[in-house]
Structure 1
Amino acid sequence: MARELRAQLSSSRGGWRLYVVVRGSVDPWPEHVFGQGDRVPTFTERAAALKALGFVQAPAAEWEWTECSADPDDPASPVWLLASVWVRSRTEGAA
């Protein structure tokens, strides 16, 4: 069975970044930074970024979106989006 990892997409510093969480690794996690802007990267852009990092979306996996707040007790607190999906390495995903 192919090993699945969690990829996350978050808005940060005026842009979006996609990274793959590799627990237990001392190396930097694979990461792709999208250009500046508020527009959420499209599904196609996210898939291309994953491919460039050496990953593919796992079969039947779907992107999950979560709204995060700096202060959950304050409804006026700024929010940001965090998305995640299960991925496999491209070599395992092709098998």
Structure 2
Amino acid sequence: MRTLTAQMSSDGHAWRLYVVVYGEPNWPTFRWDRPGPVPTGAERRRVLAALGYEVAPGAVWSWTEDSRDPDDDSTPVVLIAAVDVREQEGATA
């Protein structure tokens, strides 16, 4: 079964979760219209399921931070989380 990457990001406004599907123009995406709190693991699982995916066995979310301008540490931080996912059992592509 093919493993893909799901990412979740926020620049201090809404949170967005998307599955990176190279070669596809529109990636499966969901948006929480809230700056906080960070979507829980249960919320993320429900959204992934609604998009037809599940966290790959043994995979855990990893977090990193980025910036709109990496050379200027006074710019707002963008938080990015990532996890390996696979299509849900029984999901149709």
The alignment's TM-score, normalised by the length of structure 1, stands at 0.85
Gaps of 5+ in 2: none
Gaps of 5+ in 1: none
The answer to whether the 8 A contact 2:16-2:31 is kept is: yes
Aligned to 2:10: 11
Distance in 2 (alpha carbons) for counterparts of 1:52 and 1:83: 19
The answer to whether the 8 A contact 2:11-2:79 is kept is: no
Aligned to 1:23: 22
Aligned to 2:41: 43
The answer to whether the 8 A contact 2:64-2:80 is kept is: yes
1:63/1:33 Cα in 2 relative to 1: closer, same or farther (>3 Å)?
A: same
- How far does residue 53 in structure 1 lie from its aligned partner after superposition? 0.4
Aligned to 1:85: 83
Percent identity of paired positions between Structure 1 and Structure 2: 48
Greater helix share, 1 or 2? 1
Superposed CA RMSD: 1.8
Distance in 1 (alpha carbons) for counterparts of 2:70 and 2:11: 19
Matched positions, count: 91
The answer to whether the 8 A contact 2:10-2:35 is kept is: no
- How far does residue 65 in structure 1 lie from its aligned partner after superposition? 0.5
Summarize the alignment of residues 69-84 of structure 1 with structure 2, pairs less than 5 Å apart.
Answer: 69-84=67-82
The answer to whether the 8 A contact 2:7-2:80 is kept is: yes
1:87/1:23 Cα in 2 relative to 1: closer, same or farther (>3 Å)?
A: same
Distance in 1 (alpha carbons) for counterparts of 2:35 and 2:79: 14
Moved over 4 A (4+): none
The answer to whether the 8 A contact 2:11-2:77 is kept is: no
